[in-house]
Amino acid sequence: MWVYIIRRVLYNIPVFLAIVLLVMVLLRNQDPVPGLLGKNATQQEYDSKRHELGLDRSLLVQYGALLTEIVTFNFDREMWTQSGMTVGEQLRSAIPTSLALTLPALALTTLISICIGMLSAFARGRWLDKTLVFFAVLGMSISFLVYIIFGQYFGSYQLGRLLGRPIFAIHGYEMGWQNWAYYLLLPVLISVIVAMGYDTRFYRAVMVEETQKDYITTARAKGASDRKIMFVHMLRNAMIPIITRIMITLPFLVTGSILLETFFGIPGMGNVLLTAILNNDFPVVEVFAAIFAGMFIVSIILTDVLYALFDPRVRLQ
Amino acid sequence: MLRLPAFIGGICCLAAAGCAPQVGPGGSGEKVAYLSDRTAGPNTLDPVQGSSVYDNRACTMVYQTLLQYKYLRRPLELAPLLLEQMPVVSEDRKVYRFRLKENVFFHDDPCFPDGKGRELVASDFFYSLKRMAQDSNQPKGWWLLKDSIVGFDEYRQQQNDAETFDYDVPVEGLKVINDHEFEIYLKQPLYRFTYVLAMFQTAIIPREAVEHYQTKFARNPVGTGPFRLERWDVGSQLIYVKNPNYWEEYYPADPGINKDGSEPYLGYSADKALGFYVDAGKRLPLVDRVELKFYVQAQPKWLKFRNHELDYTMVPAENFEEAYIKRTAKIRQEFVDKGIRSHAEPLLDMIYIGFNMEDPDFGGYDEKHKWLRQAIALAIDWDEWNEAIYNDLNILYDGPIPPGLEGHPEHHTLSHSYRGPDLPRARKLLAKAGYPDGKGLPKLVYYLSRGEKNPEAAEINQRNLAELGIRLDVRLVDFSTLTDALRNSRAPFFSLAWGSDYPDAENNLQLFYGPYKSPSSNNFNYDRPEYNALYERARVMSPSSERTKLYEQMRDMVIEDAPMIGSMARTRYYLMHERLRNFKPTEDFFNWPKYLNVAE
Amino acid sequence: MISRPISSRLRRLLNTREMRKLRRDKGALCALLVIGCYLLIALAVMSNLISRQDCTQVIGSNGMPGFFLEESRERRFENARTSMLKPVLRALGHPDPKAALADVKLGRWRVAEKSLDELQQITDDAVALRLILNESENLDEEPQFEARLVEFERKTADLIKPLSGWDNFMQNAALLLGTDAQGRSIFFRGVYSIKVAIQIGVVTAIVSVLIGAVLGAAAGYWGGWVDSLIVWLYTTFSSIPNLVLLVVIAYAFTDSDAKDTLLPVYIAFCSTFWIGTCRVIRGETLKLKEQEYIQAAQTAGFGSWRILFRHVLPNTSHLMLINFSLLLIGAIKSEVILSFLGLGVKSQPSWGVMIRDAGNNGDVMTGFFWQIGTATAFMFVLVLAFNILSDALQDAFDPKHL
């Protein structure tokens, strides 16, 4: 098994290298120096700044330097748009904030979608199924943005006015467990509502596939109750695709939700990333891309391993 | 089975209900002021690196300059802040003698021995100025001191080329007399030098803090100001607390009505009626804590203000009709009933469109190109621009000098201007220039920064110029690309705004001074010897009617040659809750939070 | 291949088991009808029925509600003041009034054909009425000004030349759903955006499906290093969060010469959307490889490329079709988000641009739902139709779908 893992890691190293290179090349299409120095700088200042930031070296040299940094876990490079703050510090404060938003969202969405998916698959073809699918499709047809704009207005402002005191924050964020619900619950709910359409249909399809299997017919013939069939049999056997899907989604949690964070002013990774891209802050984007790529590859390998553990028919070759 | 999600949902709501943080003043009678800015936050708290108004506001809570503007007096008047008295200026106005206040201490900070802040001395000011010369500090304000102090430009060149920047090397024009007295020698009697001493980039910084914090200095400010930085949540808020060791500064005294019954300054009676002199004579600062919150979007900021979570806000254009009756620009009664007060503050602002005079097709000083530019100027529909984007609230005026300053035309208009929209006249001029209906003209490349309303503005201008037959190639770019294009003279036609750094038209007229061509602030690359001569004469004069005449001549030259089409000045509308006292909104200086008080 | 006439080929196609199933699905047929309507509208827009000018010119005052709803007195005053009165006043004060008046326009409205004296009289009356009305503190709460207001409105309307026929219809249609913050027609902008959305959707979906299908088939068919390479390629691309990749690519174009066109959008979308199709086609190709007729073709000595294009790909065409519809939806929705961030469509109206304007202007907060409502509604119907259609396609062709 370890041989398998090592072989997979080696196989995926080119993927990692390619991701980092791709990001670097795309970023360098824009010149960050004028924005950093302002309107009154001289050519000399520009050149010295460019030298200081290391932009006058060839792309390969910069690439090599970045990789060395990542491999030695050295995140002390300074950000370009915020003096005095290192990339490491910025990521350290932004990532947990994003996770505080995306983890609960993922958990809630998965829980609710699995339940609805199961219900739907079980009542396949009948009116309950049709209604649920219909609403899922409806939900999928509205833009994320519209949910956010209306959610912020009705869920936060109007609700607060109705009840006389603010229940959900309109905007902003403060660290601390006691503040979580006030600042993040509304974005989490919006996130759940948006994702439910897709997820419900996915889980429904998985469950439908399960219902068509023989062991369900056997169980029914043996007189097992509906609930037992659903939870004990279907769920267990459907675990594999469910877990696969969750595992693949995990690294993306770290990115946070760019739109939600921008709208609600949550200083999470998505917000930081968007600001960094639009302001040409290369270190932040590059280091984050490298970290993310690493996590992604780890999650792929983990998924394969878990898959093998769950299903003995899969042999790791 | 469905019970599970419902159960979870219920718990969440209960948790939410219990979790709303306390809004309003902190416990135990602490006085807190809740301010906000429409930005993602300052990039730095190092005055030398700052350039935007947000950097300004954030820094001036903690740092102080030698001079400040008097809070309540209008028109603006400079007064000593860290000085005992205004600087004594020699006859030829090239030597300035300063006397620092005594017993002014820096904040208590770990960078000092025993953590106790030491007294401010003269050499601190020179140290701060020298920091503005060091390139590795990424200074954005060097242009303020460029070519003014004797020996300073040479010092800068020398030290930047050397291995390390040595702050102890003396500069000829910076002379320390003793701990509290010093002199500065200028190369020429530039009038604006006094204004520079009030600008936040020249704020005084202790050497120990820079040496202790090194690169982290931008996040650990140590100054002499009335507040200390408690916390900076990047992208979210800055929290300041009262400086317990703040030197003795007092709220301005009530000047009272003059003996002859006239007002001591413009607007005195209104200030008195609003209770701005109730706290006269009290020791500053008056509040214990200031929370400065950042909002990138206008809507959340506005809603927080309506919710009483912010003490004041600028009214976003889109909410203007919610709070005011557009027809009269007066605040609505329901707002007044809630104790909200309104204040309209015209800005020293210049929103304009510029030409690159070195462009082969659209630049040039000969008549043909001049008529071309004038024709374009006449096609721009300022009314529509004003109406669509600024709710018709801006002041439209002719020339580069903003309202309120010497040289501004009476009633904002001049008969000899080329203010649009005036299509018939534009067509005539265009034909005269040899391009009837725009035939034979290449596309005009138009650069704008990607601000919120700029795409709409670009569309409006594009439509209006199309009436003339001129095609605009609109390029919406981010601000750094725009800056780059202007520095390299790549932008033939561009939209910008210039906010005055100090209340003197020289600040706007220097934008057309030949030697300041790209890559300096003269984005128009306008270089006319007659204009340059006038400017050089005017900038060493103190305010007088002769100087105003020179300003007017320069203004008229700019209008006729049309390197710039304009202009417009914004008016900010502020709304504030009853709770906030002593607030007189201004965007000309930002160190006023020390005067604020809150009612309990 | 035996050649047959097109019509009988078509009949055979429509009579396959899958197509018959599709034809029975009422929902799918409805969806198809809706999509057809949208396509017709898009074609109409492309042939200049609603031009770009219709979308950018000012046709009324800002923020007018749709369906010609009655507005408050203050708003009616604003509407009347900013309609013809303002530009006509300015024109009359010009040294050459006739020439200046000829330039005055508000949408399709022009100045009434009256003599200069008559126009002067009307404007004088209007200005006098405006002075009286300006004495009020708040027109909405002072009903005594109603009569004067009506007179003011009538006077300003007198300045407008009455329209007839097509122009009248278009001017009314323009005001059907109100105006946005700049005074432009929401209805026209919403309809124009249909063309933009379909254009982006179709181009992106076709290109992405083609790239994905060819690469996927190649990977599946040849295996070996080709397969490894392509799998490596799409693993790399799919490992960057979708939106981040779109933002980075779209932003990389912001200073290039192409940035005003839709090219950055196309490139950004195609670079991210080909992956899904590639995976699916690759999987299908792997299955097809074992089929007898492929092996027969190989034995017969047909070249690999020929087998690929004449045997493999046509048999995956149902998957390509399904992916096409899914990607079209994805493109429309992603365009909205990109335009919202300022990186998508730049110089044309589109649903994303409309929602962005609505968001930036705080429309929802001030209770003005027309702009965001129109964009959302138009988009919702189209996306819903495509969702139903792609569901039906999947049910018919790929019953084991996800």
In this prediction, residues B516-537 reach a mean pLDDT of 89
Check B321 against C347: CB less than 8 A apart. Answer: no
User: Is B431 part of the contact surface with chain C (CB cutoff 8 Å)?
Assistant: no
Pairing type for strands B564-569 and B349-355 reads: antiparallel
Contact B474 C347 (CB under 8 A): yes
Angle between helices A127-140 and C370-397 (to 10 degrees): 130
Specify the DSSP element, H or E, that contains C313: helix C313-315
Region label for A81, one of left (φ > 0), alpha (ψ between -120 and 50) or beta (otherwise): alpha
Instruction: Burial-class residue C71 by CB neighbours within 10 Å (0-12, 13-18, 19+).
Output: middle
Please report the pLDDT score of residue B327 as a whole number: 83
Q: What are chain C's partners, defined as 3 or more CB pairs within 8 angstroms?
A: A, B
Cβ separation of A145 and C337 shorter than 8 Å?
yes
The answer for A 285-314 residues in CB contact with B (under 8 A) is: none
Compute the mean pLDDT over every residue in chain C, rounded to the nearest whole number: 84
Percent of chain B exceeding pLDDT 70 equals 95
pLDDT over 80 (residue B510): yes
CA B9, B12, B13, B19: dihedral to nearest 10 degrees? -170
CB of C342 less than 8 A from some CB of B: yes
What is the average pLDDT across B69-90?
A: 92
DSSP letter assigned to residue C395: H
> Which residues in chain A are contacts of B14 at CB distance < 8 A?
none
Torsion of CA C133, C137, C139, C143, to 10 degrees: -90
Nearest to B505 by CA among B561, B543, B546: B543
β-bridge partners, B396 = B568
Instruction: Confirm if A130 and A204 have CB atoms less than 8 A apart.
Output: no
Query: Which structure tokens are listed for B350?
Result: 């210049």
pLDDT in tens, B18-37: 444 444 444 467 889 999 98
Both tokens of A243, joined, read 């877990």
Q: Provide the 3-class DSSP secondary structure of residue C358.
A: helix
Residues of A with CB under 8 A from a CB of C: 12, 14-15, 18-19, 22-23, 26-27, 29-30, 137-138, 140-146, 149-150, 153, 157, 201-202, 205-206, 209, 252, 255, 258-259, 273-274, 277-278, 285, 289, 292-293, 296-297, 300
- pLDDT tens track for B322-370: 889 888 888 998 899 999 999 998 889 899 999 999 988 888 899 999 9
More confident of the two residues C366 and B23: C366
pLDDT tens track, chain A, 317 positions: 778 778 878 888 888 888 888 888 888 877 777 766 655 566 777 787 788 788 888 888 888 888 888 888 878 887 777 767 788 888 888 888 888 899 999 999 999 998 888 888 877 778 888 888 888 888 888 888 889 888 888 888 788 778 877 778 777 777 778 888 888 889 999 999 988 888 888 888 888 877 777 777 777 788 777 777 667 777 777 777 788 788 878 888 887 788 888 888 888 888 888 888 877 788 888 888 888 888 888 888 888 777 777 666 666 55
pLDDT for residue B548 is more than 90: yes
Distances in whole angstroms, Cα of residue C22 to Cα of each of A134, B192, B554, C10:
18, 80, 77, 15
Chain B interface includes C181 (CB < 8 A): yes
* The 3-state secondary structure of B556-578, one letter per residue: HHHHHHCCEEEEEECEEEEEECC
Q: Which residues contact B537 (CB under 8 A, 6 or more apart)?
A: B550
**What is the per-residue pLDDT for B298?**
77
Chains that touch B (3 or more CB pairs under 8 A): A, C
Tell me which chain A residues have a C-beta less than 8 angstroms from the C-beta of C248: 23, 26-27, 277, 285
Is residue B520 within 8 A of residue B210, CB to CB? The reply is no
Residue B5's pLDDT band, with cuts at 50, 70 and 90, is: very low
State residue B398's pLDDT score: 92
What pLDDT does C381 receive?
93
Instruction: Identify whether the C-beta of residue C7 lies closer than 8 Å to the C-beta of residue C15.
Output: no
- Give the pLDDT band of residue C260 (cuts 50, 70, 90): low
Give the per-residue pLDDT at A160.
Answer: 78
Helix (H) or strand (E) holding C115: none
pLDDT, position B18: 41
> What CATH architecture applies to the domain C3-49+188-401?
Orthogonal Bundle (1.10)
Closest CB from B4, B49, B299 relative to A83: B49
Q: What is the pLDDT of residues C232-241, one digit of tens each?
A: 888 888 888 8
Partner residues linked to B572 by β-bridges: B345
Q: pLDDT band at residue C399, thresholds of 50, 70 and 90? A: low
C54-75 pLDDT, tens digit per residue, is 887 778 777 888 888 888 888 8
C-alpha B326/C-alpha B341 separation (Å) is 17
Round to whole Å and give the CA distance between B222 and B108.
Answer: 8
Q: Which residues on C lie below 8 Å from A146 (Cβ)? A: 355, 372, 376
CB contacts of C86 in chain B (<8 Å) are 383
Residue of C nearest to B462 (CA): C56
**Cα–Cα separations (whole angstroms), residue A279 to B341, C45, C199:** 37, 37, 31
Asked if B474 lies within 8 A of C57 by C-beta distance, the reply is no
- Cα dihedral angle (C348, C350, C352, C355), rounded to 10 degrees? 100
Interface of A with B in 226-245 (CB under 8 A): 227, 230-231
State yes or no: pLDDT of C361 exceeds 80: no
Q: Which of B315, B496, B322 is nearest to B400 (CA)?
A: B496
Task: Name the CA radius of gyration of chain A, rounded.
Answer: 24
One-letter amino acid of B103? N
Integer Cα distance of A299 and A296 in angstroms: 5
Confidence band of B373 (pLDDT split at 50, 70, 90): very high
Do the beta carbons of residue B171 and residue B128 sit within 8 Å?
A: no
Residues within 8 A of B (CB atoms), A 122-181 only: 152, 156-157, 160, 165-168, 170-175, 178-181
Calculate helix-pair angle for C351-360, C370-397, nearest 10 degrees. 140
Q: Which among B316, B332, B450 has the least Cβ separation from residue C362?
A: B316
> Which residue among A33, A43, A267 sits closest to B519, beta carbon to beta carbon?
A43
Q: How far is A169 from chain B (nearest CA, A)?
A: 8
Distance of alpha carbon B298 from alpha carbon B313, whole angstroms: 10
- CA B68 to CA B83: how far, in whole Å? 10
B22: left (phi over 0), alpha (psi -120 to 50) or beta: beta
Amino acid C130 reads R
**Subunit contact B318:C56, Cβ cutoff 8 A:** no
In angstroms, the CA A174 to CA A51 distance is 38
- Stated as kind and residue range, the H or E segment containing C339 is helix C317-340
Determine the 3-state secondary structure of B191 from DSSP. Answer: coil
pLDDT one-digit tens code per residue, B125-171: 999 999 999 888 878 788 888 889 999 999 998 998 888 888 999 99
Give yes or no for residue B550 having a pLDDT over 90: yes
Q: Yes or no: say if B203 and B47 are a contact pair by the CB < 8 Å rule.
A: yes
Strand partners, B341: B576
**C-alpha distance across the termini of chain B, in Å:** 52
Query: Which residues, 6+ apart, have CB-to-CB distance to A303 below 8 Å?
Result: A243, A244, A247, A248
Taking CB atoms and an 8 Å limit, are A15 and C236 in contact across chains?
A: yes
**Cβ atoms C237, C275 nearer than 8 A:** yes
Residue B84 sits at the chain C interface (C-beta within 8 Å): no
- Nearest Cα neighbor of B388 from C129, C172, C68, C86 is C86
pLDDT of C268 > 80? The answer is: yes
Looking at chain C, which residue has its C-alpha nearest residue A157? C365
In this complex, do A259 and C337 lie within 8 Å of one another by their Cβ atoms?
yes
B 51-70 → A contacts, CB under 8 A? 51
How far apart CA A219 and CA A46 sit, in angstroms, is: 75
Window from A82-91, A258-267, B109-118, B279-288 with minimum mean pLDDT:
A82-91
Q: B522 with B473: CB under 8 angstroms?
A: no
pLDDT at B23: 42
User: How far is it, in rounded angstroms, from Cα B306 to Cα A273?
Assistant: 31
Could you tell me which chain C residue has the CA closest to the CA of B392? Answer: C82
Tell whether the model's pLDDT for residue B595 goes beyond 50: yes
C362/B299 touch (CB, cutoff 8 Å), yes or no: yes
Q: Look at B296 and A265 and tell me if their CB atoms are within 8 Å.
A: yes
Q: What's the farthest any 2 CA atoms get from each other in chain A?
A: 85
| Residue A206, pLDDT score | 81
Q: Is A48 helix (H, G, I), strand (E, B) or coil?
A: helix
ipTM score of complex: 0.81
CB contact under 8 A, C236 and A258: no
Residue of B34, B38, B63 lying closest to B48 (CA atoms): B63
The two beta strands, B95-99 and B181-185, are antiparallel
In angstroms, rounded to a whole number, what is the distance separating the alpha carbons of residues A313 and A79?
A: 49
Shortest CA distance from C251: residue in chain A = A278
How close does chain B come to C58, measured CA to CA in Å?
9
Query: What's the gap in Å between the CA of C77 and the closest CA on chain A?
Result: 29
Asked if B253 contacts B307 with a C-beta cutoff of 8 angstroms, the reply is no
B307 reaches C (C-beta below 8 A):
no
% of chain C surpassing 70 pLDDT: 94
Query: Of B547, B548, B510, which Cα lies nearest the Cα of B532?
Result: B510
pLDDT exceeds 80 at position C207: yes
Question: Residue C248 and residue A252: Cβ atoms within 8 Å?
Answer: no
Q: For residue A78, list its beta bridge partners.
A: A86
pLDDT of residue B2: 41
Q: Which two tokens stand for residue C290?
A: 């074992």
Indicate yes or no: CB of A181 within 8 angstroms of CB of B487: no
Choose among C74, C56, C118: nearest CA to C353: C56
Q: pLDDT band for position C6 (50/70/90)?
A: low
| Confidence at residue C172, expressed as pLDDT on a 0 to 100 scale | 84
Residue B4 binned pLDDT confidence (cut-offs 50, 70, 90): very low
Cα-to-chain-centroid distance, residue B236: 22
Q: How far apart (Å, rounded) are the C-alpha atoms in residues B217 and B202?
A: 16
- When comparing pLDDT for C107 and C386, which is higher? C386
Q: What is the pLDDT of residue B25?
A: 41
Q: What is the pLDDT of residue B402?
A: 93
